[in-house]
Structure 1
Amino acid sequence: MKKLNYLLLFVFASLFFACSSEDEEPKLVEKDVTIEVEMGGDYYDYLVTFTVHSMLSGTSTFVAPQLVEPSSLAWTQVVEQGNTYSLTYEPSMSIIEVQSSSDIHSLGFVFNTVPLEREPDESLEFLTATIQVLADGEVYKEYSYEALPSGETSIPVSESITIY
C-alpha cells in the first residue's frame, strides 16, 4: 500500500508540473496599431503595392485599416469579406501610414515594389524601405526592404504579427 501511495504522489506531481503555466502561450493583448513605411532612394521610379490583411480583434472580428498617408489617396482595392485592403500607386511622397480603426491583437501585411523602367538604369538609386509596426505608439516590430534592379525579382516583406 505504501508503494501505491508513492506511485500516486509521483503521478499527481508529474501531472501538476506538466500543466504548469510556463508552457502556455502569452495572452493576446489588443492595442491601437499603426504601420509606418518610410521609403528612400528613387521611390518615385517604382510602382508600390502595400496590402493590409487579417486585422483582427476579439475572437475573429475584422477591423478595417485606415489609410492616413498619403492622405490624398484611398485604398485601390478593398475585399471586406477577406479583410484585405490594398494600395497600388506611384509614390510622390516617401511615407505610407496606416492605423487600425480599433484595438487589434493580430494583423498581416505585404509590401512590394516593381521598377517602372523596364530597362536597367545604372543611375537609378534602388528603393529602400523601413517598415515599423507600432503598438500603442511603441515600436513593436521593424522590417527592412530593398528593391532589386529591373529584371530581378524583389522579395516582398510579408508578415503576420500577433500582439502579446
Structure 2
Amino acid sequence: MKKLNYLLLFVFACLAFACSSGDEDPKLMEKNVTIEVELDGDYSDYLVTFTVHSMLSGTSTFVAPVLGEPNDLDWTQVVEQGNTYTLTFEPESPSLSAISSAPIHSLGLVFNAVHLGGDTNDSFQPLSAEVRVLANGSVFKEFNYEAMAAGETSVPLAEEISF
C-alpha cells in the first residue's frame, strides 16, 4: 500500500508539471512584411548601409527580401547561405523599402549612415531616418535613427523582430 501511495504521488507530480503552460512560447504568426525608411536632413552627404537578415518562415526557411524603392538599385551584397542582403549607396531620394518575398515570422535589420566628409555649413542638417516595419500593411514597429555629423562615429540601428 505504501508503494502505491508513492506511485500515485509520482504520477500526480508528473501530470502537474506536464500540464504547466507557463514555459510555452507564443506561436509566431507569419505575415507579409515591408520595411520602409524615410530619410530627412542632408541625406545626399551620407553613405547609407541597409541590411536585412534572418527573414524566416516556417521552421527556419530563408525568405529573400525584394527592394521596392529605389527601384533602380539592386542589393550590393547578397549572402544567400546566411540569408543576408545588404544595400550600400549614396541616397538620391528620401525613400527606401524592402518587401518579404513570402510571409515571414521573424527578421533582423541594420541601418547605418556615415558622413562622406567635406565641408558643412551652419545650415547643415545631419541625416535622420524613420524606419517602419509593416506587417500585412499595418505598422508593427517604428524606430528613429539619427546619424552623426562629419568626423563622428555613427551608431547603427540594429533590430530583431518576431511577429
Structure 1 length-normalised TM? 0.87
Name the % identity: 65
Q: Does 1:75 align with 2:75?
A: yes
DSSP 3-state at the match of 2:36:
strand
Q: How many residues of Structure 1 are paired with residues of Structure 2 in the alignment?
A: 163
Matched residues in 2 for 1:118 and 1:19: separation? 65
Matched residues in 1 for 2:95 and 2:87: separation? 13
Post-superposition offset of 1:63: 0.5
Amino acid in the other structure paired with 2:31? K
Matched residues in 2 for 1:50 and 1:90: separation? 11
User: Which stretches in structure 2 are left out of the alignment for 5+ residues?
Assistant: none
Q: Cα gap change, 1:18/1:151 in structure 2, threshold over 3 Å: closer, same or farther?
A: farther
Post-superposition offset of 1:155: 1.1
Q: Cα gap change, 1:10/1:86 in structure 2, threshold over 3 Å: closer, same or farther?
A: same
Q: Cα gap change, 1:51/1:10 in structure 2, threshold over 3 Å: closer, same or farther?
A: same
CA RMSD of aligned residues (A): 2.3
Q: 1:118·1:151 contact (CA, 8 Å) conserved in 2? A: no
Q: 1:34·1:133 contact (CA, 8 Å) conserved in 2? A: yes
Partner of 1:109: 109
Matched residues in 2 for 1:12 and 1:39: separation? 60
Q: 1:44-123 counterparts in 2 under 5 A?
A: 44-118=44-118, 121-123=121-123
Q: 1:17-56 counterparts in 2 under 5 A?
A: 19-56=19-56
Q: 1:138-157 counterparts in 2 under 5 A?
A: 138-157=138-157
Amino acid in the other structure paired with 2:40? G
Matched residues in 2 for 1:58 and 1:123: separation? 49
User: Which stretches in structure 1 are left out of the alignment for 5+ residues?
Assistant: none
